[in-house]
Amino acid sequence: MTTPVIKMFADAALAPELQAALTANGITDPFPIQAATLPDALAGRDVLGRGRTGSGKTLAFGLPLLSRTVGRRARPGRPLALVLVPTRELAQQVTTALTPYAQAVGLRCATVVGGLSLQRQADTLRAGAEVVVATPGRLHDLINRKDCRLDQVAITVLDEADQMADMGFLPQVTKLLEQVAPNGQRMLFSATLDRGVDRLVRRFLTDPVSHAVDPGTATVTAMTHHVLHVELADKPAALTQIAAREGRTILFMGTKHRADRLARQLLASGVRAAALHGGKSQPQRTRILEQFRTGQVTALVATDVAARGIHVDGLDLVVNVDPPTEAKDYLHRGGRTARAGQSGAVVTLVLPEQRRDVDRLLATAGIKPESTRVRPGDEELVRVTGARVPSGVPVTITPPAQPAPAAAPRAAHRGSGRPRRPRRRPGQQSAR
């Protein structure tokens, strides 16, 4: 039997410091996913929560996680609460959202993701952190190094649980869940909760209560969906005009190589563009996102690595340059816009040979788009997307700096305390 939903945060049994922090931030009314799940989560029940991207899931699990951890202190390397996420970007977003509230109740947060200094993360854990937000692979690395143990973790959250399954994280997630406190609380949140997480639910959750405030289809009234039918010869020019619109736009591509190529083409035509994909280092990805948030970059060309975990206020257009292959990927791409009550549009460019597959995909997602046939410069293209002709003057965006390569440890001569000098290749100058 589920607990009745709350109408205001003041009705929830949150720690007083959290109530004060919410009030100070002008947050009084919960989003539906928060109103539905908070009472059960605060009561310590295992929870399955489904809500569309941008619907407030982070605070839905974050506030009860913090409230139920208040007053406890983590020992070095032994966190008390764990949030597992599939991507680095989502880990940073969750940490950013939770940190002000964690500070309000005196709890320490640590982010554990690949692409950043392993030693620095180990040092942070050893200094003590009550809440750890982590991607599975890097957390396994730290556990294998004996820098972290999970036996004190009383609350475990899987955010975007279905993508964990889709990305092949299930074996790693299973091993991690086997290590947390056996009688602890488990919460799984996602925009879609499908059969991919059934095994985790059956094995690790006890009498879970399920809340689905949004169906697993796109029903956001503030989000409009458009299919633009284009010919292959017209697509590059139409795409460039869309990217040159006022405001910020995310353009989704199928591969990182195509994303890089499109970003270069857009820069050459006068559009402030950058590519974001898994081939970038974490510092590069962080800087590119900051450039996008501040408007230095206006067209972000991304692969699906960015479909979850990016939150940019005021983003009102998502373009599927390459249509996704699954309905859930369409929903997660589109979830970058129309977040937290704002409006936005999702545009999918469709070539003649793609029409049947895209029609089937949208039907599965429960979407009835507005369909239009367009060519570059058409009034309909402008109406739907705000497209405009770019300046044609090439622009340069300062690229994110490459991280300095870590110095390889130098082996010592046997029987000697002096390090071995690296062998110099023919023609290589001395560093001296």
| pLDDT tens for each residue of the chain, 432 residues long | 546 788 899 889 999 999 999 999 888 889 888 999 999 999 999 999 887 666 788 999 999 999 999 999 999 999 999 999 988 888 988 999 999 999 999 999 999 998 889 999 999 999 999 999 999 999 999 999 999 999 999 999 999 887 787 777 888 999 999 999 999 999 998 776 666 678 888 889 999 999 887 544 434 446 789 999 999 999 999 999 999 999 889 999 999 999 999 999 999 999 999 999 888 887 888 889 889 888 899 999 998 875 566 667 768 899 999 998 888 788 878 877 655 445 678 999 999 999 999 999 999 888 889 999 999 999 999 999 999 999 999 998 876 555 444 443 333 333 333 334 444 443 343 333
Phi (first) and psi of residue 92, to 5 degrees: -65, -40
In a domain, 294, yes or no: yes
The side-by-side arrangement of strands in the sheet containing 47-50 is 109-112, 131-134, 81-84, 155-159, 185-190, 47-50, 209-212
Task: State which of 157, 180, 212 marks the end of a domain.
Answer: 212
Q: How far is residue 166's CA from residue 50's CA, in Å, rounded to a whole number? A: 17
Q: Which of 313, 239, 232, 307 is nearest to 273 (CA)?
A: 239
Angle formed by the axes of helices 282-294 and 88-104, to 10°? 70
Which residue range(s) make up the domain with 372? 223-385
As a 3-state breakdown, the chain gives helix, strand, coil percent values, each rounded to 5, of 35, 15, 45
Contact 254, 333 (CB under 8 A): no
Q: How far is residue 243's CA from residue 386's CA, in Å, rounded to a whole number? A: 9
Q: Which residues have C-beta within 8 Å of that of residue 175, sequence separation ≥ 6?
A: 140
In a domain, 207, yes or no: yes
Q: How far is residue 126's CA from residue 330's CA, in Å, rounded to a whole number? A: 40
In a domain, 2, yes or no: no
Q: What CATH number should be reported for the domain holding residue 293?
A: 3.40.50.300
The verdict on 208 and 249 lying in the same domain is: no
- For the chain, how many structural domains are there in total? 2
Instruction: Give Cα separations from 199 to 33, 180, 297 (angstroms).
Output: 24, 17, 42
The verdict on 291 and 366 lying in the same domain is: yes
Q: Which of 200, 116, 213 is nearest to 157 (CA)?
A: 200
Q: How far is residue 81's CA from residue 73's CA, in Å, rounded to a whole number? A: 11
Query: Considering just the CA atoms, what is the radius of gyration of the chain in Å?
Result: 24
Q: How far is residue 97's CA from residue 336's CA, in Å, rounded to a whole number? A: 16
Taking the chain, what is the end-to-end CA distance rounded to the nearest angstrom? 74
For residue 181, give the amino acid letter: A
Q: What is the pLDDT of residue 194?
A: 65
In a domain, 50, yes or no: yes
Q: Which residues have C-beta within 8 Å of that of residue 259, sequence separation ≥ 6?
A: 253, 275, 276, 277, 301, 302, 303
Three-state DSSP state, 26: coil
The verdict on 208 and 227 lying in the same domain is: no
Strands (E), 37-91: 47-50, 81-84
Contact 100, 151 (CB under 8 A): no
Q: How far is residue 210's CA from residue 320's CA, in Å, rounded to a whole number? A: 32
The verdict on 21 and 153 lying in the same domain is: yes
In a domain, 104, yes or no: yes
Q: Which of 368, 346, 343, 340 is nearest to 250 (CA)?
A: 346
Contact 245, 386 (CB under 8 A): yes
In a domain, 430, yes or no: no
For 116-154, b/e burial (b = at least 16 CB within 10 A) is bebeebbebbeeebbbbbbbbebbbbbbeeebbbbebbb
In a domain, 112, yes or no: yes
Look-up of token digits 């633009």: 228
Q: Which of 107, 23, 97 is nearest to 61 (CA)?
A: 97
In a domain, 312, yes or no: yes
Task: Please state whether the predicted TM-score (pTM) of the whole model is above 0.75.
Answer: no
